[in-house]
Amino acid sequence: MKRKKIGMLLLAFPLVVAMALLPGCGKVNQSVNNDKKNTESLDVPVATQEVFAMDTYMTLTGYGDNCEAAVAAAVEEIQRLDALFSMGSAASEIAKLNMDGTVSVSEDTAVVISQALELFDTTGGVFDISIYPVMELWGFTTDNCKEPTVEELSSTLEYVDASKIQYDANAKTVSIQPGQGIDLGGIAKGYTSDRVVEIFEEYGLEAGLIDLGGNVHCYSEKIDGSLWNCGIQDPDDENAVMCILSVKDRAVITSGGYERFFTDSSTGKTWHHIIDPATGYSADSGLISVTIVSEKGMLADGLSTSLYIMGLDQAIEYWRQYKDSFDVILVTEDRNIYVSEGISGSIYCEEGFTVIK
């Protein structure tokens, strides 16, 4: 667990916690490490490694022959992707793009930007990687957060429009307009977990758990044949779990305003990091937590933020349009929980939930 301070900003517990041994829906007191003992009793090799990348602590666990090599290769891949996408390194492709305006990009960056632009279209502009200048204005990129003036925000919002990003798929070049900047933070970890899954497959692992700072991706099922259990954090209590979801071969990614926020010392207002590109302010949609469950981590990562900004009604309509690609758990300000029908039989919420169809 990472706890990070940004002025008066706190980074809460991971939004999704994988509980490898939890058999039902009792107290959440298990961890991935407990599963190692169970694995050893079944004579299945296990390897676990931690790495700090993409501004978060990550834990990879692989089960099966070649697990040590697979996990080591996955860590190396995470570090390689971090070097490509990092906003904190002037040598990254994204930093060069923001500085120079045009760059030739690697296959990985091309894939992520292409998916981001597709999400921009399907969400009606809600998912917008050109939000970077506004994030920078608020101080979320420098850990020096402050509330901007209306004038500052208005002038900066003029640069936020991903439709102006020019991507040449054949030449693999990306160009942005003067004053624009992009940030892949809302989708990069999802792509990274997809790549780790591919590596686990290449090495023929039996099972694996990928925890990229709360972005959980469950590879296959547990070695005893049961499902992985993922606890969804209670938005009102960082030490509690609101729901428990049982899955295999799925990414489970949650977004919430309680994850990263600050209180402005001059105004006393509290702002969180999920910015609505239509207003430039923290999203205030009536939702306090959105979890996306999908086979594809990159899709889940981008949609968790997007549907949070949309609000309940629009999020449900979006799911209905694209429900073959993902499932969703939506939590409103009054703690009503809405679960898409595809996972309604695999989730337990102590407070109950409404199935959306």
Residue 88 has pLDDT above 90, yes or no: no
Is residue 106 within 8 Å of residue 96, measured between CB atoms?
Answer: no
Residues 132 and 274: their CA atoms lie apart, in Å, by: 12
Token pair of 71 as six digits: 């996990």
Predicted pLDDT of residue 39: 43
Could you give the 3-state DSSP secondary structure of residue 49? Answer: strand
Residues 60 and 79: their CA atoms lie apart, in Å, by: 13
For residues 83-93, average pLDDT: 92
Q: Where in the chain is the domain with CATH 1.10.3980.10?
A: 85-175
Eight-state DSSP code of residue 226: P
Predicted pLDDT of residue 25: 22
Residue 267 has pLDDT above 90, yes or no: no
Eight-state DSSP code of residue 147: P
For residues 46-53, average pLDDT: 97
Is residue 38 within 8 Å of residue 21, measured between CB atoms?
Answer: yes
Is residue 87 within 8 Å of residue 141, measured between CB atoms?
Answer: yes
Kindly give the pairing relationship between strand 354-356 and strand 337-340: parallel
Predicted pLDDT of residue 151: 97
For residues 330-336, average pLDDT: 97
Residue 35 has pLDDT above 50, yes or no: no
CATH second-level architecture of 85-175?
Answer: Orthogonal Bundle (1.10)
Taking only the tens place, the pLDDT of each residue in 214-258 is: 899 999 999 999 999 999 999 999 899 999 999 999 999 999 988
Continuous segment of H or E residues that includes residue 289: strand 287-294
Residues 347 and 332: their CA atoms lie apart, in Å, by: 17
Give Cα separations from 12 to 53, 131, 200, 255, 319 (angstroms): 18, 23, 29, 12, 27
Q: Where in the chain is the domain with CATH 3.10.520.10?
A: 5-84+187-356
Is residue 298 within 8 Å of residue 194, measured between CB atoms?
Answer: yes
Fold of 5-84+187-356: T-fold (3.10.520)
What's the first-to-final CA gap in the chain, in angstroms? 35
Residues 319 and 250: their CA atoms lie apart, in Å, by: 17
Query: What's the one-letter identity of residue 11?
Result: L
Number of Cβ atoms within 10 Å of the Cβ of 115: 21
Residue with the larger pLDDT of the pair 152 and 24: 152
Taking only the tens place, the pLDDT of each residue in 115-138 is: 999 999 999 999 999 999 999 999
Residues 62 and 5: their CA atoms lie apart, in Å, by: 32
Kindly give the pairing relationship between strand 228-234 and strand 166-168: unpaired
Residue 180 has pLDDT above 50, yes or no: yes
Residue 289 has pLDDT above 80, yes or no: yes
